[in-house]
Structure 1
């Protein structure tokens, strides 16, 4: 068995050399590990619960249930599209490498640069949103026992620093245990969803809702938008949950047989996550306390109050809160790990200032790009300071993360589609004849989502309710463009030219005709 695994790893090393890179990390993750890491990053209960106020403002139960199912279907198309491209180009460089290989020679360097910076901003802000969101969950948990206490911005920021420190310690010193931690996270999530289902169904202290309310209850009055648009505004939590679906590509060079394992993990994570989401949401919508009460919580984070009212006791509410908090902490660790690999890969291709420094793999801490990890963490800490000045501006980073990551994923899919998909015909994980339709749905969904999450959740718009996501998005794009003019156009020539363009030594294509 060990000999067979060694042969697989040697083949993966050779395939990586054909893509232009030298193997620098050890391969320690199989399909269960990378699938569970994907589910840990997805963190379904956390992703749906932490921003639940947006779904309540958008319309309530109908948005929560049917919006989740709708977004899951669209995300499946995106996951399959990414899986196909990833199976042919399994490298930690991810989407910006795919753009470079798929685009025409005239535009491939520029498109690769743009995509790479979209990816960087996306992974940094999505990691920030998780660590800061987990800090806000701690505030919500404290509010269960101290309802009159409202955390000041600096108190929340200090808690955020504590969460960030925990994730940094795990990513630095427990790297070899992270695959096991991802498995523990999957078990915690599955058990936690089951416990939530049973407890809420049994207690229902705030009353039981009718099936017509649970599956069809819709009230757009809190948002001020028309009913149709309000429904779409409420899709932010499911879109946020799935926003990092492609981040495991950054782990490609630590995975056994990545051309087979990564696509399968991407493809299967969405249906598994979708089922988890339905099972988690159903008991909530059937036992949902008064929505107006939840939306009036001073902290703006109603999850603690929601569980306490539904369970009828502070202890019961805290127990369910703790399940979601644990999932959030697991997610913060996994997503910080993936963000550090994405940062390292981009630095390796000389696209980040002081790239030589940030492209190093530590000789003291095995297989950890320490400098890239510190860069990723440091940027999150600095961006978190914005919360001290304006929580509204800070909340824009959630939308920016969804927009940047979505755009970075859509670009290679759109390029492949524009090329008639000829470049992915020999992909080990092939979509076959369904490819054009699947790719088209994926690109259209991301295009719509980017417009959607630039809109304010509530109208009329005030300084407090304004959605600054588009402003932040354009700001980062301007910084990227300026850096390209100053430095990128002279030093960035794209990822390395492959040493060998012959077909990779991978398993036979698995058709999904």
Structure 2
């Protein structure tokens, strides 16, 4: 009796009695079509993917930028800068979501550039630069989030007992934070899924608790006219900023720095079910959620300011958000202990964001190593059998973030300048694939998530916003410029670009001599079309019975054009086009009324899969007729005439 292949929802493939067939997950089918084998476990759903992106952005990160917004523009820069950054990042998210829907592969912007240039060897440098900017931006983001976590903890400790962390103590706490984040990121895939959801829940509900308690406990609230329309121009004269627009853009950076990390779902795409649909929605909705919740938090903070003049000079020593918490509870209850306790909610969210960022970094490094884009790629590309995650890549990014933090020991400002590559590097790596998508135009292979007619306008708006943001990030914050007030972000970005270009053009050892993004599937690894499965009438005992004793649905298997498909080989290297799979699962009913799932993919078969017409349909060729020899009476046998 032939086997009926049933859907295994956990594994995302069809299996029966040890056989594994064509992928039933549309994201996995697209992954194979793009030339990559499935190595990670697909467990993440829409909620987890959304949670990853929202947790990575962590709207509490605005706490670190509030002093900048307050100095460069005041409440107007904080409120309307947040609104502008939210709307602009929705354009960026829409543009990236469309590309992620077509290319649901870990690696994000790096891999998108490969496909958008049609894997043309002449344009490989574009993907190389984008990949390295993304890798460096990713681990710099992890280091920055770890530093924010430690600084937040240090302010809480200082408000509690008056002790200020030294540089050595700050670095020690930073190293412990990264170690804990690395350990949490090393758990099995199922635990990462649970952690991401937990992180998002604590972020959202923790934010709501703060937004409710602070106004309720505040002895006084600032007037709405001051919150929405007060613009501080006094810094323009003191710092030599020539225009109000320049001042506003500098203050807006506080909001822009929050919207980093929404690409996380694309880096987890190979672990996400129906990634071509789930990932783009997660990117878009997480940006919208962050914009709404973060905007509400900004308003609450500004309304709850108790002493405008003391905001940056009080007990919190310039950490404006902590000063607001402390002043509110001190003014209401006589001491700020309640504010210190409430600050534990952002502390937890900062650490969770560090963990999510580290997991995102590991997937990016793993994907880049899969294409031999980094040194020691054979080490970083290993997937742990125990956790089903890129464990080596996780600890590599942990080590890089640790070394990035070494300047904390002698100059924290130097660390912040080096960490600024997180914003500039990531935004540049986002801009390149969006620009390439515009160049492709109608030849772009759209996925399920489409922008439609507004696509060019959305792409142009996103590109303009990111270019302006990077330029503002590189601008000096004080004029005239000297060694003391220079913005060293431009130096950091310039040094990174020189190193990346030098690594490409280096004679003999340069990446241009050996870096060729490879495919990972060979023709033999591609699945062959399955046999056509039909229902047949039960024929008594010959049909067999199920192990439980009930009679199973009997099927006839027509002659197939090939054997059942199998799992791609782990040693494969190349990748011809994979057939498109649109509707992988069709349900039918057996003769006894039970429903069974039969896998009937609709395939566009390459010529190599087409077989000769079955013999029963071929025109029958008549055999050659030999002359009949008969014996003539009295004359012996007749001999056929010769030509």
Q: Give the TM-score band, short-chain normalised.
A: over 0.9
Q: Check conservation: 1:44, 1:277, Cα contact below 8 A.
A: yes
Match in the other structure for 1:177: 191
Match in the other structure for 1:135: 150
1:127 deviation in Å?
1.0
1:501 deviation in Å?
6.1
Match in the other structure for 2:313: 296
1:460 deviation in Å?
5.0
Instruction: Pick closer, same or farther for the CA change 1:504–1:493 going to 2, 3 Å.
Output: farther
**Quick check: 1:28 aligned with 2:50?**
no
Q: Check conservation: 1:199, 1:311, Cα contact below 8 A.
A: no
1:10-61 CA deviation, whole Å, 9 max, x = no partner?
A: 443332121111111101100000101110001112x211222111121222
- Corresponding residue to 2:347 among 325, 330, 346: 325
- TM-score, normalised on structure 1? 0.93
Match in the other structure for 1:305: 323
Show structure 2 runs of 5+ residues with no match. 1-5, 14-22, 520-573, 585-643
**Greater CA drift, 489-498 or 138-147:** 489-498
Where do residues 227-238 of structure 1 align in structure 2 (5 Å cutoff)? Answer: 227-238=244-255
Match in the other structure for 2:286: 269
Q: Check conservation: 1:39, 1:186, Cα contact below 8 A.
A: yes
Larger radius of gyration: 2
Instruction: Pick closer, same or farther for the CA change 1:399–1:506 going to 2, 3 Å.
Output: farther
**Quick check: 1:219 aligned with 2:232?**
yes
1:466 deviation in Å?
2.5
1:136 deviation in Å?
0.8
1:102-148 CA deviation, whole Å, 9 max, x = no partner?
A: 1263642111101101111110111111011111111111121134x
Q: Check conservation: 2:97, 2:283, Cα contact below 8 A.
A: yes
Larger fraction in strand: 2
Q: Check conservation: 1:55, 1:235, Cα contact below 8 A.
A: yes
Match in the other structure for 1:510: none
Q: Check conservation: 1:143, 1:304, Cα contact below 8 A.
A: no
Match in the other structure for 1:361: 383
- Corresponding residue to 2:180 among 166, 170, 180: 166
Q: Which has the higher contact order (CA 8 A, sep 6+)?
A: 1
Q: Check conservation: 1:399, 1:454, Cα contact below 8 A.
A: no
Number of aligned residue pairs: give it: 502
Where do residues 59-458 of structure 1 align in structure 2 (5 Å cutoff)? Answer: 59-103=73-117, 105=120, 107-147=122-162, 149-173=163-187, 175-205=189-219, 207-222=220-235, 224=239, 225=241, 226-296=243-313, 300-312=318-330, 313-363=335-385, 365-424=386-445, 426-458=446-478
CA RMSD, Structure 1 to Structure 2 (Å): 2.1
**Greater CA drift, 24-33 or 246-255:** 246-255
1:502 deviation in Å?
5.3
Instruction: Pick closer, same or farther for the CA change 1:166–1:157 going to 2, 3 Å.
Output: same
Match in the other structure for 1:499: 576
1:377-419 CA deviation, whole Å, 9 max, x = no partner?
A: 1111001002223222211234321111011011011011123
CA distance in 1, matches of 2:89, 2:140: 20
Instruction: Pick closer, same or farther for the CA change 1:216–1:112 going to 2, 3 Å.
Output: same
CA distance in 2, matches of 1:40, 1:122: 17
CA distance in 2, matches of 1:464, 1:390: 13
- TM-score, normalised on structure 2? 0.75
CA distance in 2, matches of 1:503, 1:411: 28
1:292 deviation in Å?
4.0
CA distance in 2, matches of 1:228, 1:367: 50
CA distance in 2, matches of 1:220, 1:506: 60
CA distance in 1, matches of 2:583, 2:489: 41
Larger fraction in helix: 1
CA distance in 1, matches of 2:479, 2:81: 21
CA distance in 2, matches of 1:11, 1:423: 19
CA distance in 2, matches of 1:495, 1:267: 31
Instruction: Pick closer, same or farther for the CA change 1:464–1:184 going to 2, 3 Å.
Output: farther
Instruction: Pick closer, same or farther for the CA change 1:115–1:495 going to 2, 3 Å.
Output: farther
Show structure 1 runs of 5+ residues with no match. 508-513
SS at match of 2:447: coil
1:247 deviation in Å?
2.9
